[in-house]
Amino acid sequence: MSWDIFVQDLPRDAKSVAEIPADFRPAPLGKRLAIIEKIKGVVPSTDFSDPSWGRIDGDGWSIEVDCGSEEDCRGFVLHVRDADFAAVVVSEILEHLEVRAIDSQTGDFFVRSEAIESLRRWRGYRNHVTDGNEG
C-alpha cells in the first residue's frame, strides 16, 4: 500500500477539487524525459532505468514515480511509503515542477504545510487495515 499523490495540470484558480469544472481537461505537463530530468534535479539518485517507472529510495522511505509510457506526459503518480521525510521530498518535487497534485488521503489538493500529517494519517490507516504488516 502507498500514499498516492496524483499530479496533473490542475486549474490554478480552484481552491478545492470540488471547484474543478466537470468538463475540465488537463493539458500535458510536458515531455516525459523533461519531467524525469526535473525530478532528478530534486533527487539526483532517482532510478529511471525504466522511464515509465522511477524509484527514489531514502533512509526508511521510498517513492515510486509512475510516469506512464507516453512521450507526452499528461500526469504522473507518486507512490509514497513510510517515513515523514518522503512528504518533504514530494513537496520539493511538486514545487520544482510548478505543478499541483491531489492527495489520495484527503481527496483534495496536496498542501505542503499539511503533507506530513496527511502521510501520518495514511500510515495509521495502512497499519490498521494490515495489522501493521504491509504486504
Q: How much is the pLDDT for 1? A: 86
Contact residues for 44 (Cβ-Cβ < 8 A; gap 6+): none
Query: How sure is the predictor about 113, in pLDDT bands with cuts at 50, 70 and 90?
Result: very high
Residue owning grid cell 506512464: 68
- Paired with 6 in beta bridges are 77, 102
Nearest to residue 90, comparing CAs of 104, 102, 80?
80
Q: What is the mean pLDDT of residues 48-59?
A: 97
**Cβ neighbours of residue 38 under 8 Å, at least 6 residues apart?**
96, 97
Q: What average pLDDT does this structure show over 63-82?
A: 96
C-alpha separations of 108 from 12, 102, 120, 125 in Å: 14, 5, 16, 17
Summarize pLDDT for 2-44 with one digit per residue, the tens. Answer: 999 999 999 999 999 999 999 999 999 999 999 999 999 999 9
| High-pLDDT (> 90) share of the chain, % | 93
All domains of the chain, ordered by start, with CATH?
Answer: 3-130 (3.30.310)
pLDDT reported for residue 134 = 60
